[in-house]
Amino acid sequence: MDSTWLMTIALWWLAGMAIAFVVHEAGHAVCAVIGSMPISLVSIGLGPVLLRGRLGKTRMVLRALPFGGFVLLYPVWGAPRRRQLLFLLGGVLANAALIALLACLNSPGAAQALPTFVRDGQGPVMFAQAFVIVIQLVPFRPRINGVRMASDGLQLLRLLRRPAGPAGARSMLRCSAATPAIERRCCHRLRRASCSISAAWSQGSTPRSGAQSMRRSCRS
């Protein structure tokens, strides 16, 4: 077997995994916008920070290795369950859409117009999308950097089992890869603020002021 071909496939597999994570997180972000769910933080990649900025009230972080990431929402109170489902499924839906697009490009007519190295890469990139979909839908809590993270599948189960109404309203948090220290602290602050606002709700207070203070606590 040609070693050059094997190296090409390996490089396309790495590129496919990077594309899969970026597309996955972009899908979550787009579905959050569609569902009018405010985004606190979008973090793409692992390792050293390359770029950091803001898009409105959303913090954006780009790191050196695009093999992970997460989308963090502000606490969503009283949001319809279908919007929360759309957000949690947004990542895998985006990966599935990319698979469908690549399958269309792999048709006999379209494939002939593509360079050979691009045709060789379609398979590994599609397989990488499918791999990320399967991993994210498995309900488990891996320990990453000493912190327990919930996969999309586990959060879907929690959402479906959660009672409706204010008692079940919690912040929507998802982390698909190792969370850097700054973002992890922000996640913990959001969890604490979520519990405080939920308690205020149960006592008949308005959650607006608590949500505003929570937003201030996670600003850089």
Average pLDDT over residues 17-42: 95
Task: Lowest mean pLDDT of 35-39, 82-86, 211-215, name the range.
Answer: 211-215
Any idea where the domains of the chain sit in the sequence? 3-178
Q: How far is the C-alpha of 122 from the C-alpha of 10, rounded, in Å?
A: 12
**Least confident among 53-67, 75-89, 121-135:** 75-89
Tens-place pLDDT, residues 164-179: 655 554 444 444 343 4
pLDDT of residue 189: 53
The pair phi, psi for residue 74, each rounded to 5°, is -70, 155
Residue-averaged pLDDT of the chain: 77
pLDDT of res. 188: 56
Answer yes or no: is pLDDT of 40 > 90: yes
What contacts 44, CB < 8 A, 6 or more positions away?
A: 21, 22, 25, 61, 62, 63, 66, 69
Q: Please, where are the H alpha helices in 75-180? A: 81-105, 108-111, 116-137, 152-161
Query: Does the structure show a pLDDT above 80 at 109?
Result: no
- Calculate mean pLDDT across residues 18-31: 96
Confidence of residue 17 (pLDDT cuts 50, 70, 90): very high
pLDDT at 203 over 70: no
For the chain, count helices (H), then strands (E). Answer: 7, 5
pLDDT at 145: 42
pTM of the model: 0.74
- The residue-averaged pLDDT of 47-70 equals 90
